[in-house]
Amino acid sequence: MNIEDVFSSKLRMKILRILVRFRELNSSEIARKLGVNYVTTTKHLQTLENEGILVHKVFGRIRMYRLNENSPRAKAVQALIETWEQSDKP
Is the pLDDT at 82 greater than 80? The verdict is yes
Predicted local distance difference test score (pLDDT) of residue 90? 64
Q: How far apart are CA 48 and CA 61, in angstroms?
A: 20
Predicted local distance difference test score (pLDDT) of residue 67? 98
Contact 19, 25 (CB under 8 A): yes
Is the pLDDT at 1 greater than 90? The verdict is no
Q: Residue 35, by phi and psi: left (phi above 0), alpha (psi -120 to 50) or beta?
A: left
Predicted local distance difference test score (pLDDT) of residue 44? 97
pTM across the whole model: 0.90
Helix ranges (DSSP H) in 25-89 = 27-34, 38-50, 72-87
Is the pLDDT at 89 greater than 90? The verdict is no
Residue 47 three-state SS: helix
Model confidence pLDDT, tens digit, residues 46-69? 999 999 999 999 999 999 999 999
Q: Which domains does the chain have, with CATH numbers?
A: 3-87 (1.10.10.10)
